[in-house]
Amino acid sequence: MLASRPLPGFDLNACLERLARHEQDAGGCLEAVRELLRFAPVLASDLDIDSKQQAIAGLRATLGAGSREVLEAAFVALAHIDRPAATTAGFVMFARLGGQMQGLASGLLARLVPPNPPTVEHCLAWLAGEDNLRGLLAAEALGEQGPGAVARLLVNLQRLLGGPRGSSEERVRGRIAHALGRIGPGAAAAIPMLLRLLDDEHVYRDTRWYAKRALVAIGPEAAVALLAELRATPRWVVLEALSEMRPEALADLVGLAGHLEALRSGEDSGLHGISAAILHKLR
């Protein structure tokens, strides 16, 4: 698709062609990204919607591969052109990377939220804000801190368990769970609080989803806790979390298979299918 209106001194089509070759020509792609960033104020102004949408699509595709330098520059350009689009793309990008580019979120924060450096204190403060892009990057940056950040995260989460239900508090709960999930096995100390979030029907659905994903990321220790919860009170949310665990995290859980067999044919028909699915994973 051709840009609908030429912009003086700027060849969008040439930039898009170089972006499309990001795997073969990282240098050319980086030049194109820098050119898009230079013209970001014009593209963001909605004077030419077609050009804006093409630039967004090209930059989003670049986030799927390439060097860290290209990825970081492309994300910054996208954020300057369309912040909501960058937020959505950021969720996908960080999920795909799975923590493989250590320090990426902190680096992006430093470029997008100056002059405050992305310290733990600043990131914790940013979790409550309405700026979803900054909140996402702050959660990811806290996750990049690793197990050393868990104690601080839990202090902040403890204050909110069973507390106010406003949107600000809800954002913090969900983003802390997000950060704990990025830390993974090193966040095992968070299991009791994550279980409380998982079971709390009054928190946002996204918050419960992040709690579930954090438990899955923590792995075997969380699986043990989930089995104990299942034995105490069989319920869907616990089975759902167990169903998303890796098979190796479930393999050594003594009594799990027998308990699932009982649930598969028990009185609660709503638990039959998911119990059978977990049993299939164990085999």
| Number of domains forming the structure of the chain | 3
Non-local (6+) Cβ contacts of 1 within 8 A are 50, 54
Q: How confident is the model at residue 132 (pLDDT cuts 50, 70, 90)?
A: very high
Domain boundary residue, one of 76, 97, 118 = 97
Helix/strand/coil for 131: coil
The reply to whether 33 and 116 lie within a common domain is no
Domain contains 208: no
CB-based contact 222:182 (threshold 8 Å):
no
The reply to whether 79 and 8 lie within a common domain is yes
Q: Give the number of other Cβ atoms within 10 Å of residue 276's Cβ.
A: 15
The reply to whether 24 and 64 lie within a common domain is yes
CA separation for the pair 175, 160 (Å, rounded): 12
Domain boundary residue, one of 199, 231, 263 = 199
- β-partners of residue 73 are none
The reply to whether 12 and 74 lie within a common domain is yes
CB-based contact 22:71 (threshold 8 Å):
no
The reply to whether 5 and 90 lie within a common domain is yes
Helical (H) or strand (E) element with 199: helix 191-199
Residue 9, pLDDT above cutoff 80: no
The reply to whether 134 and 120 lie within a common domain is yes
Domain contains 204: no
Q: How confident is the model at residue 6 (pLDDT cuts 50, 70, 90)?
A: low
Domain contains 56: yes
Query: In this predicted model, what pLDDT tens digit does every residue of 138-192 receive, in sequence order?
Result: 999 999 999 999 999 999 999 999 777 889 999 999 999 999 999 999 999 999 9
pLDDT of residue 36: 94
pLDDT of residue 168: 93
Residue 4, pLDDT above cutoff 60: no
Query: In this predicted model, what pLDDT tens digit does every residue of 37-59 receive, in sequence order?
Result: 999 999 998 778 999 999 999 99
Let me know the angle formed at the C-alpha of 216 by 195 and 238, rounded to the nearest 5 degrees: 45
Mean pLDDT, rounded, of the chain: 92
Q: How confident is the model at residue 8 (pLDDT cuts 50, 70, 90)?
A: low
Backbone phi, then psi, for 10, in 5-degree steps?
A: -140, 125
CA separation for the pair 33, 74 (Å, rounded): 6
The reply to whether 32 and 122 lie within a common domain is no
Domain contains 205: no
From the list 68, 41, 38, 36, the residue with the least C-alpha distance to 55 is 36
The reply to whether 55 and 126 lie within a common domain is no
Backbone phi, then psi, for 224, in 5-degree steps?
A: -60, -45
| Domain that residue 41 falls in | 1-97
Domain boundary residue, one of 65, 81, 97 = 97
